[in-house]
Amino acid sequence: MNTFTYSEARQKLALLLDKAKKEGKVLIKRKDGTIFELRPVRTKKSYLNVKGVDLNIDKDEIIDILREVRER
């Protein structure tokens, strides 16, 4: 993990954001020695939240398919 000076961070903000996304965090150090940590915010997404697929079938066809599968 690299530590960047405040001046470098100002000049290369887009680069630091990409680096933080890739590596998890980036450190920025001020002249007075204070160190800050730049990290991406992790959003909580459900793995069950998936985009649907349009199969162009109506509810009666779905019910028929379910009945057929349950009879097996």
3-state secondary structure of 28: strand
Name residue 29's beta-bridge partners. Answer: 5, 35
Range of the domain at 2: 1-41
Q: What is the pLDDT of residues 15-51, one digit of tens each?
A: 999 999 999 999 999 999 999 999 998 888 888 888 8
Question: How much helix, strand and coil, in percent to the nearest 5, is found in the chain?
Answer: 40, 15, 45
Would 67 be classed as within a structural domain?
no
CATH number of the structural domain spanning residue 13: 3.40.1620.10
Would 64 be classed as within a structural domain?
no
Contact 30, 6 (CB under 8 A): yes
In terms of pTM, does the model score above 0.85?
A: no
Q: What is the pLDDT of residues 45-70, one digit of tens each?
A: 888 888 888 889 999 999 999 999 99
Q: What total number of domains does the chain contain?
A: 1
End-to-end Cα spacing for the chain = 57
pLDDT at 4 over 90: no
When computed from its CA atoms, the radius of gyration of the chain, rounded to whole angstroms, is 25
Assign 1 a pLDDT band (cuts: 50, 70, 90).
Answer: low
